[in-house]
Structure 1
Amino acid sequence: MQSAMTNQMLKDGVGFLRRFCNSPLACLGLAGTLLIVLAAIFAPLLSPQNPYDLMQLDIMDGRLPPGSESMAGFRFLLGSDGQGRDILSAILYGLRISLVVGLGSAALAFVVGTTFGLVAAYVGGRTETVMMRIVDLQLSFPTILSALLILALLGKSIGNVVFAIVLVEWATYARTARGSALTQMRREYVEAARLLRLPHWNILLRQLLPNCISPLVVLLTMQVARAITLEATLSFLGLGVPITEPSLGLLISSGFEFVLSGIYWISLFPGVTLVVTIFVINLVGDRLRQMLDPKGAQR
C-alpha cells in the first residue's frame, strides 16, 4: 500500500514537472534558479578567495579592474572592491546572504500570515473584523519605510533584516489566506468536520490549509524575490547587513560613488547578479501561477 502511494506521488511529481517545463521561459527560470542556488551552496569551492577572511585581503589589491592579478597570485576575473575583495567571490558569498534572507523571511512570513488569515476566516464575527483591521493597518504603512524604522531601532544584522521583512510582509499572506479560506468555509466538508466535532487545529491544518495552499505557494515564490530585493535595498541604504558581510546590496552601495570615475565593476556585476536572480525566480513564480491559478493568470 505504501509502495503504491509512493509510486503515485512520483508519477504526480514527474507529471507536474513535465507540465511546468512546457514553457521555455519556465525552464529557463528553473535552470537559472537551480544554478544560483548551487553556486551559493558551493561558494567556498568555487570562490578563489574567502571575502570573510581578513588575512586573505590586501589593501593594495583595492579597486583593481577585471582581469587584474592580485598580490596573492590569482586573477580578479571581475575586479576587486575598495577593500581588496574579489568581486566574483563576494558575489558568490553574497548570494548566500540573499537566499538565506529571501527564503527565511518569506517562509516565516508565510507561516505567520497564513495562520493569522486562516484563524480569522475560521473564527469569524467580531474577532475576524478586529484581526483584519490589524492586517489593513499593517498594509497601510509603506514597506520600505517600515523596514527602515525597524532596523534603525534594532541595528544591523542578518537576523534583524529577516525579522524586519517578516513584520512588513506577513499581512499579505494573511489577506490571501483569509480570502481563500472564506470560499472554503461554505463547502460541505468543513460543515461535516464541524458536525463531527473535530478539533479546531484538525479543521484548520488538514481541511482548510490543503485547499487554500495553491495561491499561497504562488505568493511565497513571488515574495522570495521581493524579500531579496528588499534586503538589497536596505543594505544599499546602509541599514541592512553589517559592512563585514559581502551582501549584493552592500557591494552595489560600496561601488556606487566610484561609477562616474570609471570604476564600474564594483556595482555593475553585483547589480547584474541581483537582477538575474530576481528575474529567474519570478519566471518560476509566474509559471506556478499559470498552473495553479489559470483564471487569475489570464486576468
Structure 2
Amino acid sequence: MTDATLPVAELAKTESPWKRIAAEFAESKLALFGLVILVLLLVAALLAPWLSPQDPYNLAGLDILDARQPPGEISGEGIPFLLGSDGQGRDMLSAMLYGLRISLVVGVVSVVASLAIGAVAGMAAAYFGGKVDALIMRIVDIQLSFPAILVALILLAVLGNGMDKVIIALIAVQWAYFARSAHGAALVERNKEYVEAARCLGLSRTRMLLRHLLPNCMPPLIVIATINIARAITLEATLSFLGLGVPVTEPSLGMLISNGFDYLLSGVYWISLFPGLLLTIVIIAINLVGDQLRDVLNPRLKR
C-alpha cells in the first residue's frame, strides 16, 4: 500500500512519530503537571545567582549571628530569611536554589554518561555474541548483584568527597542497568531485515551499531534514563547525608538535609524540612514524567 492510499490517521503516524508521542504524553494531566514543575525548577536552578538573596558559597559574607534564624526573620545585613537560615547563617532559600543545581547536575550528567557506556556495551554484547557477549554480560550480572548504595559507598570511601567523585561513583553503579536493557533490545533487533540489509551493503560495525541498532534501542533506554535521574538524585542525597557526597562548602539538597538533622530535636525544623520537601517534589515530578514516557513508548506496560 502506498502513502497515497493510507488512511489519514495512519499517514500522520508514519510522518510525525514525535507529534504522536507528544500527543499521547499530553493525555496525562499528571505527567504534564510534573513536566511543568520540572521546567520551573530547572529555570529556578539556572537563574539561582539572580534569584538568590545571598551567595551561600561566599563564606566571607556569612555571619554566625544569623545562624538558625526562623523563617521570616531579617539578617543583620537586611537580607530577608524567607525560609530561615542554617547553622552557618546561610539563607535557606539561596542554599536550596544552589543545592538544586548541584543535585540536578549530578543526576543528569551521571545518567547521560551511564546511558552512553551501558548502551554501547549492551549493544556490542548482543551484536558480536559469543565470548564478547558472555564476558560483558557476566560483568553486568556481577555489578547488578551488589546493592548500588554499597558500591557507591565503597567507591567514595576510596575516591573521597567532591561532585566529580560522586558522578564517577553513580556512573559505576548505573551503567549496568542500561547495558542489560540495551542488550535485550539489541537481541530483538539484530536479526531483523534492515540489519541484514545493512550487513549485505558492507557497512562497518561501528556504523551498524550507532546508525541502525542504537536508534531502535533508544525508546526503553529513554524511559530508564528518565526514571534513573530521580534515582541518581536520591542516591546522591543519601551519600551526602552520610557525609560521603559533595563537600559541605557546596552543599546539595542531601547535604542541606544532613546539616539540619542535629537541630531537629531542638525545634529548628526548617533546615531539614524545606530541602527535604524540595527533594521530594523533584523526585515525584521526574517519576510522573518517566511513568508517562514508559506508557507512551511501550504501550504493553500501560496500566
Q: Output the TM-score relative to the length of structure 1.
A: 0.94
Cα RMSD between the aligned structures?
1.5
Following superposition, the deviation at residue 167 of structure 1 comes to 0.3
Letter in 1 for 2:65: M
Question: Offset at 1:86?
Answer: 0.4
Q: Which residue is equivalent to 2:260?
A: 255
Q: Distance in 2 between matches of 1:16 and 1:188?
A: 25
Q: Deviations over 1:37-83 (max 9, x none)?
A: 00000001110000011232100000011111101102100000000
Conserved? CA contact 1:51–1:246, under 8 Å: no
Equivalence map 1:218-257=2 (5 Å): 218-257=223-262
Corresponding residue of 1:213 = 218
Whether the 8 Å contact between 2:96 and 2:253 is mirrored in structure 1 is yes
Partners of 2:295 and 2:62 in 1: CA distance: 47
Matched, 1:103 2:101: no
SS in 2 for 1:65: coil
Aligned counterpart in structure 1 of residue 36 of structure 2, from 3, 8, 31: 31
SS of the residue corresponding to residue 282 of structure 1 reads helix
Matched, 1:282 2:287: yes
Tell me if structure 2 keeps the 8 A contact 1:139–1:171: yes
5+ residue gaps, structure 2:
1-12
| 1:286 CA displacement | 0.7
Residue 21 of structure 1, CA deviation? 1.6
Pairs aligned (count): 291
Q: Distance in 2 between matches of 1:154 and 1:288?
A: 35
SS at match of 2:243: coil
Look up the SS of the partner of 2:97 in the other structure.
helix
Counterpart pick for 1:265 among 260, 265, 270? 270
Match of 1:20 in 2: 25
Which whole-Å CA distance do the structure 2 matches of 1:146 and 1:50 have between them? Answer: 34
Corresponding residue for 2:144?
139
Deviation, 1:14, is 4.7
CA-CA distance at 1:169 after TM superposition: 0.5
Aligned ranges 1:39-50 → 2 under 5 Å: 39-50=44-55
Moved more, 174-183 or 13-22: 13-22
Once residues 245 and 75 of structure 2 are traced to their aligned partners in structure 1, the CA distance between those partners, rounded to angstroms, is 29
Deviation of residue 17 (structure 1)?
Answer: 2.8
**In structure 2, what is the equivalent of residue 188 of structure 1?**
193
Take 1:15 and 1:291, find their aligned partners in 2: how far apart are those partners?
9
Shift of 1:297: 3.1
- For residues 94 and 9 of structure 1, the distance between their equivalents in structure 2, rounded to whole angstroms, comes to 43
Deviation at 1:19, TM superposition (A): 2.6
Cα deviations by residue, 1:195-248 (Å, 9 ceiling, x for unpaired): 222100111011111111100000010111110001000000000001101211
Residues 187 and 26 of structure 1, relative CA distance in 2, 3 Å threshold:
same
Corresponding residue for residue 93 of structure 2: 88
Q: Which runs of 4+ in 1 moved over 3 A?
A: 8-16
Q: 1:12 to 1:195 in 2, by over 3 A?
A: closer
* Aligned residue identity for 1:96: R
**1:11 Cα offset (Å):** 6.1
Q: TM-score, normalised by structure 2?
A: 0.93
Structure 1: 5+ residue stretches without partners: 1-7
* Structure 1 pair 138–161 and aligned structure 2 pair: CA distance change class (3 A): same
Find the aligned partners of 1:153 and 1:18 in 2 and give their Cα distance: 47
User: Hey, what's the Cα distance between the residues in 1 that align with 2:125 and 2:18?
Assistant: 32
Partner deviation per Cα, 1:263-294 (whole Å, 9 max, x = no partner): 10000000000000010011111110010011
Q: Distance between the aligned counterparts of 2:189 and 2:83, measured in 1?
A: 53
For residues 247 and 11 of structure 1, what CA distance do their matches in structure 2 show? 40
C-alpha contact (below 8 Å) 2:21/2:296 kept by paired residues: no
* Identity of matched residues, %: 56
Q: Distance in 2 between matches of 1:126 and 1:33?
A: 43
Aligned mates of 1:14, 1:134 — CA distance in 2? 39
Question: Among residues 56, 61, 64, which one is paired with 2:66 in the alignment?
Answer: 61
